Amino acid sequence: MRSILICLLTICFSSASAEQTKNYIWPVQGNQVITGSFGEFRHNHFHMGMDFATESKVGIPIVAINNGKIIKIENSSYSYGNTVSILHNDGVVSRYCHLSGFSPVILRNIIDQKVLDKLKRRVEFDYTMEDGIRVKQGDVIAFSGDTGAGPPHLHMELSKNGVHLNPVDFGYNKISGIVTILGLEVKPFDENTYINGRNRSFYPKLIKQPGNNYIYYGRIKVQGKVAFSISGHETSGYSNKIGFQKISIQLGNKILQEINFKQIPKENFYWLPLVMDSYRSRINGEPYKYFLYSRSNYPVFVLKNPNLGAGIINSEDLYPNQGNEVTIKAYGIKTRALIKLKLIPDAGFYKKVFPKKGNVSPEKESTLVSSDGKAVFHFPKKSVLTETDFKITERYTPKSRYGLTFKSKAYTISPFYAEFNEGFDLSIKVDEPVHTGKTGLYRLSKSGIPYKLLDFKYSRSEKTFKTRVNRIGTYAVVTDYTKPSVKIHQYGNFHTFHGGNFKLYLRVYDTGSKVLKSGLAVMVDEKEAYVDYDPETGLREIFYPDSMYEKGKHVIEAMATDQAGNDSSVLRYYYTVK
């Protein structure tokens, strides 16, 4: 099946010939620096595009990389921000993200007044342009920004027929850095594998040689099956650390496994934990850690062989009494690093251990129940990416805390696990019927404070709260009577601003169900105000009406309503613009 898919993808993308890729130009006017590569680690998913520097500025012109037509503009507040999508003449779609604004030609072609209103309010929208807007290569289509997640930069994706393509193959390979290896792990694949006499990982000390080669001069004794992981990055620009493009491992002359970030199908978006270590990898590249073996039977496209165990080395396949050379090659955009080490089979006697199986695996359904029978954790097939062993614990909670009333015990699923696929179904039963307007299913902080109200369904007849969860943690049913509060951030009341070049932010506090964007009512001089939420700081910028920046005295009135219907007191803030 996988070989058929590879053939189909090869046929699909043969039209995007090498000659065509030469025609693509840099999307950012000015400096040409890559700050993030295709296939990099992000929390629970692959980075499906490439990041470009915009000098950390908002307002740098973003241009069409090739001829085509603009087919869609969008706003997704907490991820991509403002985006533009262009369908090019070769069938490739380019998508430009985190934009501060759209070009005049786009704005003139928005005929839906509701979209214009949402754009003005900075509200999420998805607008498909039926006829499209024809653009030529180099036309300014938008301006750089920091909408969505992250500081000012451009995130650009290339895709065709539902498959994301590596921009490096389209000529985006201007980089002056070098591949750096930060570490190598030789890991037992099971409980009956021994490395240098121990059933634990071994981290060989690599010596760097000329030509960016790394050597381990000792010999590693192995009995059983061993797997390899590599940590590192490629440098780009002044301080950026980006991911590898391709990695291979071979024993002698035989290639055992290869990771190639040439293409990633959309369905593989959340399968990053099968390729990269979600516990050790960091978004800043310090480090990116890659598994050089297949951890499941999921058809992970970037793996040459996705079958479980492909890439491991069995000591039975090693020649006795001599070094068996293992070679690992890590390729960046421009450079590569090479690692060499030697294995020898260990003929020693070790007591056989019967491996403990996990209670949850991708291949079957599993149900875990708390000792009191009131919390049920149901795992459908493919709920997780790898087999694991979960534990359910429970503890009594105070009847009332921080103005919140607990209607159930607190139930914890542990240990920490970062490799969920579809997640699990959680249900908690309470002793008596509750008012669902004030009561909900919460995730608790480590200190036991409710901090995240989950989407849930409540069965009155069963007195049960149900939800789908994709992370471990502590959960409880809580009633919220706490009132939120609203304050102006940074500036005291009756502040004077000199000139209209200032920003005013609200800080909203709520211990319980939290205040959504729709739960904040703000007026400036008795005119409706627009507010934009920044997920990184938690602040809410008041950015409209325009008259709020004019000379004179002004008053802001604001009130917050949390998801449980609790109202804050009214904030009145006075300021002057001179």
Domain span including residue 445: 366-480
User: Parallel, antiparallel, or unpaired for β 495-497 and 571-577?
Assistant: parallel
Instruction: Tell me how far CA of residue 458 lies from CA of 375, 385, 463, 477, in angstroms.
Output: 14, 29, 7, 11
Identify whether residues 536 and 465 lie together within a single domain: no
Domain annotation covers residue 35: no
Number of domains in the chain: 4
Domain annotation covers residue 304: yes
Q: Which residues pair with 508 in a beta bridge?
A: 486
Identify whether residues 471 and 498 lie together within a single domain: no
pLDDT for the residue 1 = 46
Average pLDDT over residues 24-31: 95
Identify whether residues 216 and 328 lie together within a single domain: yes
Q: Please state the separation of Cα 240 from the chain's center in Å.
A: 18
Q: Last residue of some domain: 284, 312, 345?
A: 345
Identify whether residues 502 and 421 lie together within a single domain: no
CATH of the domain at 395: 2.60.220.30
Identify whether residues 223 and 282 lie together within a single domain: yes
pLDDT digits (tens, 9 = 90+) for 152-192: 999 999 999 999 999 999 999 988 889 999 999 999 999 99
Domain annotation covers residue 170: no
Give the integer Cα–Cα distance in Å for 124 and 533.
12
Average pLDDT over residues 390-417: 90
* Arithmetic mean of pLDDT over the chain: 93
Identify whether residues 476 and 494 lie together within a single domain: no
φ/ψ (deg, to 5) at 211: 80, 15
Give the integer Cα–Cα distance in Å for 553 and 279.
53
pLDDT for the residue 82 = 96
- 355 or 82, greater pLDDT: 82
Q: Is residue 10 very low, low, confident or very high in pLDDT (cuts 50, 70, 90)?
A: very low
Do 305 and 314 touch, CB atoms closer than 8 A? no
Identify whether residues 416 and 508 lie together within a single domain: no
Cβ-in-10-Å burial (0-12, 13-18, 19+) of 72 comes to middle
Identify whether residues 94 and 17 lie together within a single domain: yes
Q: Last residue of some domain: 152, 171, 200?
A: 152
Please check the confidence at residue 15 and state whether its pLDDT lies above 50: no
Residue 533 token pair: 């939420």
pLDDT digits (tens, 9 = 90+) for 527-570: 999 999 887 788 999 999 999 999 999 999 999 999 999 999 99
Q: Please identify which residue in the block is written with the tokens 């690692």.
A: 339
CATH of the domain at 122: 2.70.70
pLDDT digits (tens, 9 = 90+) for 560-576: 999 999 999 999 999 99
Q: Which residues pair with 573 in a beta bridge?
A: 556
φ/ψ (deg, to 5) at 418: -120, 25
Give the integer Cα–Cα distance in Å for 69 and 61.
18
- 51 or 8, greater pLDDT: 51
Domain annotation covers residue 440: yes
Identify whether residues 239 and 90 lie together within a single domain: no
Identify whether residues 375 and 443 lie together within a single domain: yes
Residue 104 token pair: 């005049």
Domain annotation covers residue 209: yes
Give the integer Cα–Cα distance in Å for 260 and 169.
12
What stretches of 122-261 adopt beta strand conformation (E)?
125-135, 140-143, 154-160, 163-165, 179-188, 194-195, 207-209, 213-223, 225-236, 240-242, 246-251, 254-260
For residue 291, give every residue at least 6 positions away whose Cβ sits within 8 Å of its Cβ, in sequence order, or none: 227, 229, 274, 275, 276, 277, 311
What percent of the chain is predicted at pLDDT more than 70? 96
Q: Is residue 352 very low, low, confident or very high in pLDDT (cuts 50, 70, 90)?
A: confident
Identify whether residues 140 and 289 lie together within a single domain: no
pLDDT digits (tens, 9 = 90+) for 45-60: 999 999 999 999 999 9
User: Parallel, antiparallel, or unpaired for β 375-379 and 391-395?
Assistant: unpaired
Domain annotation covers residue 173: no
Q: Which helix (H) or strand (E) holds 52?
A: strand 50-52
What's the angle, vertex CA 41, arms to CA 178 and CA 17, rounded to 5? 70
pLDDT for the residue 358 = 93
Q: Which residues of 113-130 are buried (b: 16+ CB within 10 A; e: fewer)?
A: eebeebbebbbebebebe
Identify whether residues 194 and 296 lie together within a single domain: yes
